[in-house]
Chain A
Amino acid sequence: MAKVNEGLYYSETHEWVRMVDGYALVGITDYAQHALGNIVYVDMPDVDDEVSADEEFGAVESVKAASDLISPVTGTVTETNEALENTPGLLNTDPYGAWIVKVRLAEDGLPGNLMDAAAYADFCANL
């Protein structure tokens, strides 16, 4: 059973959003890391890149395959998690701690259709 964390927003493509000081941290869920298996590379956007909700902004690569990262939010990347460059496996060991990008949200950049923890847990249970 995949873990969910309270207080985060979740997308149907298994990314999470944590709001911290007005910025959005974005990562992938425990369900996602489990389905992917050992993650060996994270293709992250550059700082100042624009990201748009429901659009690809990078990729996570397991041993076997690359999977697109789909942004749950709209805004501008202000930081990427440099720890993932040398230790991409953090996404496996600490999926809700290892954020991938920090985004300064555009106006209405946090879509209203993201799920809360309970809804996302239900969503995963029915996959």
Chain B
Amino acid sequence: MEETLRQTCLHDSHIALGAQMSPFGGFDMPIQYGSIIDEHNAVRQRCGMFDVSHMGEIVISGPQAGEFTGYIFSNDVRDMPDGKILYGMMLYPDGGVVDDLLVYKLSDMKWLFVVNASNIEKDFIWIQRHASGFDVKVDNFSDFYGEIALQGPDSEKTAREVLGLELKDLAFYTFMQTELDADGSIGRGEPLIVSRTGYTGEDGFEFYGSFAQIRYIWDRLLAAGVTPCGLGCRDTLRFEVGLPLYGHELSEKISPVEAGLGVFVKTDRPDFIGRDAIVRQKAEGTARRIVGIEMADKAIPRAGYPVEADGEQIGEVTTGYNSISTGKSVCMAMVRKEYSAPGTEVSVRIRKKTFPGTVCKKRFYDKNYRK
């Protein structure tokens, strides 16, 4: 079964830049333009930009939009001011994860869900199915939004100098709505959302707009010398700071508590989908947990490789790399709880041999957010 790959509004630019393209979440996406290592380091040291137009945008609107968001989303949206963003999950009743997402509160009547590309259809159906008892409208605008992530310590300065956007007062996990015209004028033209968010562990911003606006921003940043970065380094960057990727560290079979993300499920509030399962998991603990493992050698643990201890398999690697920022071979892995304490000696089977490693925190590099 071959599915036609979709293209983002920046596809032509990726081809012109000679990007190595690969399918991701149903889209033909750039993995790298030159070197993943160079792109990774650009984001850690200066700034880089990502086409993340494949991400999904679903808007919940109507008189009960806030109430419904609180029912289907794991985090507590009750006291959220307009312009605030929360990270969390949509859960199945058994505590498994439909998707992890960002929720943007535009107003009491209007909420934006930013979801993973690979889950857009599933999420939309899930949301619609549960919306029937609420006075809300659910719209999937994923085909109409483009999105760019500008990430790295120089992002704020770059937005100011290249785009004329002053973002110094935009707090972490908040957003502003402005307008951007075809000639680059700020404050008139089509609406544009800018948030201080990202998926790299660095300061940075995400821009949501029309295809024309997103092409304009991309071209301006490119002309100013900002490094275009592919999904290859997006994964190495998020991994190093311990951020989860749906399908690896979270899934319908991996709950937020198992992933060490229970803090994003606020159980001290009335009914929401998945509440009972998570209350139980938080009270009783889970039989397995996601941990970090630092390898003694350079051999690289990859997703799916068995984790062993005491002569048997006790888990499996979920994501692993030779960390670009630290040079160490490290991984996140799902292991049995008895082996989850930091300092526990385990080994990872890599091809024909096993290599020793030590359980550690699943953050291999410190985040550098500007809060």
Residues of A within 8 A of B (CB): 37-38, 40-41, 43, 59, 61-66, 85
Q: Name the one of A37, A38, A61, A85 contacting B300, with C-beta atoms under 8 angstroms.
A: A61
Q: Using Cβ atoms and an 8 Å threshold, which residues of chain A touch B31? A: 64
19 contacts between A and B (CB under 8 A): A37-B35, A38-B37, A40-B300, A41-B299, A41-B300, A43-B350, A61-B300, A61-B322, A62-B36, A63-B232, A63-B236, A63-B321, A63-B324, A64-B31, A64-B36, A64-B232, A64-B235, A65-B302, A85-B298
Q: Using Cβ atoms and an 8 Å threshold, which residues of chain A touch B300? A: 40-41, 61, 66
Contact between chains at A38 and B35 (CB < 8 Å)? yes
**Cα(A85)–Cα(B299), bound, Å:** 10
Task: Name the residue of chain A whose CB is nearest to the CB of B233.
Answer: A63
* 10 cross-chain pairs, A with B, having the tightest CB-CB distances, nearest first: A63-B36, A40-B322, A38-B37, A61-B300, A38-B35, A41-B298, A41-B300, A38-B36, A64-B232, A41-B322
Mostly, the B contact residues are: mixed
| Shortest beta-carbon distance from B78 to chain A in Å | 41
B329 interface residue (CB < 8 Å to A): yes
**Cα(A19)–Cα(B329), bound, Å:** 35
Chain B count of residues within 8 A CB distance of the other chain: 19
Q: Assess A59 versus B351: contact at CB under 8 Å? Given A41-B300, A64-B232.
A: yes
Task: Name the residue of chain A whose CB is nearest to the CB of B324.
Answer: A63
Interface centre among A41, A62, A64, A65 (most CB of B within 10 A): A64
B32 interface residue (CB < 8 Å to A): yes
Task: Name the residue of chain B whose CB is nearest to the CB of A88.
Answer: B298
Task: Name the residue of chain A whose CB is nearest to the CB of B36.
Answer: A63
Q: Using Cβ atoms and an 8 Å threshold, which residues of chain B touch A59? A: 351
Q: Using Cβ atoms and an 8 Å threshold, which residues of chain B touch A40? A: 37, 300, 322
**Cα(A110)–Cα(B236), bound, Å:** 40
Task: Name the residue of chain A whose CB is nearest to the CB of B35.
Answer: A38
| Shortest beta-carbon distance from B288 to chain A in Å | 25
**Cα(A64)–Cα(B32), bound, Å:** 11
Q: Using Cβ atoms and an 8 Å threshold, which residues of chain A touch B37? A: 38, 40, 63
| Shortest beta-carbon distance from A49 to chain B in Å | 11
Task: Name the residue of chain A whose CB is nearest to the CB of B34.
Answer: A37
Q: Using Cβ atoms and an 8 Å threshold, which residues of chain B touch A66? A: 300, 302, 351
Q: Using Cβ atoms and an 8 Å threshold, which residues of chain A touch B299? A: 41, 43
Q: Using Cβ atoms and an 8 Å threshold, which residues of chain B touch A62? A: 36
Q: Using Cβ atoms and an 8 Å threshold, which residues of chain A touch B351? A: 43, 59, 66
